[in-house]
Amino acid sequence: MDASVIIREMSMEDYTKVMALWSGLEGLALGNADTQPNIRRFLKRNAGLCFVAENEQQIVGAILCGHDGRRGYLHHLAVSPSYRKNGIARRLVANCLNKLKEEGISKCHLFVFANNQQGMDFWQHIGFHQRNDINIFSQDIE
């Protein structure tokens, strides 16, 4: 593990660098929910739950985490390709789960694109289990 990589809370000042990390990564899709005002709102509603991994002022990992009072949700976990397999994602996820626990949330869900096999393998490897009893339904709200 590269000891110089620190995990800290995400702030709006990280927005540009985090978007640069997320953009173009396989396994992630960005949308309307990721505009600057919408991320600002997400961070405000979920204060202290979202994290970045930083190395010499470079953002090398990020994760969004939130809860609705019942369940926790993780979004957009990503680590820069050259920093992978160093335990950074595991640390980002652990930080989120610890914060959720502190807030009294006892279960956490996340969404993975069905074609993101590497992503699914990762989640399985760190102790998440795939649900085969649930399908996701969505609707755009005008």
> Which residues here bind ligand COA, judged by CB under 6 A?
25, 27-28, 77-79, 84-90, 112, 116, 118-119, 121-122, 125-126
Sheet with 108-110: strands ordered across: 6-9, 51-55, 58-67, 72-79, 108-110
Closer CB to ligand COA, 6 or 126, in the complex? 126
Closest approach, Cβ 91 to ligand COA, in A, equals 7
Q: Which is nearer to ligand COA, 104 or 138 (CB)?
A: 138
CB of 18 to ligand COA, least distance (A): 12
Question: Minimum distance from CB of 24 to ligand COA (Å)?
Answer: 11
The three-state DSSP-derived secondary structure of the chain is CCCCCEEEECCHHHHHHHHHHHCCCCCCCCCHHHCHHHHHHHHHHCCCCCEEEEECCEEEEEEEEEECCCCEEEEEEEECHHHCCCCHHHHHHHHHHHHHHHCCCCCEEECCCCCCHHHHHHHHHCCCCCCCCCCCCCCCCC
Minimum CB distance to ligand COA smaller for 51 or for 122? 122
Nearer to ligand COA, 25 or 97 (CB): 25
Q: Which residue is nearest to ligand COA (CB)?
A: 27
The distance of closest approach from Cβ of residue 47 to ligand COA in the complex, given in angstroms and rounded to an integer, is 23
